[in-house]
Amino acid sequence: MSGEPGRTPEAARLGDTPRRPGPGADPVLVVMVVLLAVSAALSLAFGLERAAAGVGAGTPVALVNHWWLARTRGRMEKLSLAQGTRQLLLTYWGRLGLDLVALLVATRLGAEFLIGVLIALVTEMMAYVWDQAQRLGRG
């Protein structure tokens, strides 16, 4: 907590992904890995090898994006509200740039590959939605 007026302990934790008991139990990461594996497997099952390759190629970018945001959110608690907001915005812009580069490279390899990379990049958002739905379900 930075001691800023109006900044409560709850405000510092908004958006945090709580760790559940267990070694490295990041629920969003677990869901991401499952979704990525299922996406690649379904692509292969439907005979879309290039889409599966795109999911495989986009997976490291998706995992780096998740790690980068989680790291930034962890550091925000030690910063003032203005500094934390600035750092979060810089992280989002950096992630967007990384995604843009991945998608631009994927366009050179065909539409099917591009869709696979896009699926990989979207899995993080789907994992966050799943995590929030789980929290809301618990009340």
Give a yes or no: residue 85 inside a domain. Answer: yes
- State percent of the chain over pLDDT 90: 65
Give a yes or no: residue 107 inside a domain. Answer: yes
Give a yes or no: residue 16 inside a domain. Answer: no
Give a yes or no: residue 77 inside a domain. Answer: yes
3-state SS assignment for residue 87: helix
- Residue whose entry in the numeric block shows the structure tokens 């099952």: 45
Q: Which of 6-15, 40-49, 86-95 has the lowest mean pLDDT?
A: 6-15
Q: What is the pLDDT of residue 95?
A: 95
* pTM (two decimals): 0.77
Give a yes or no: residue 76 inside a domain. Answer: yes
Give a yes or no: residue 20 inside a domain. Answer: no
Which residues constitute the domain of residue 134? 26-138
Q: Which amino acid is at 37?
A: A
Number of domains the chain contains = 1
Q: Measuring CA to CA, how many Å separate 15 from each of 27, 82, 104, 119?
A: 14, 16, 30, 23
Q: What is the pLDDT of residue 25?
A: 67
pLDDT at 70 over 80: yes
Q: What is the pLDDT of residue 24?
A: 61
Q: What is the pLDDT of residue 139?
A: 59
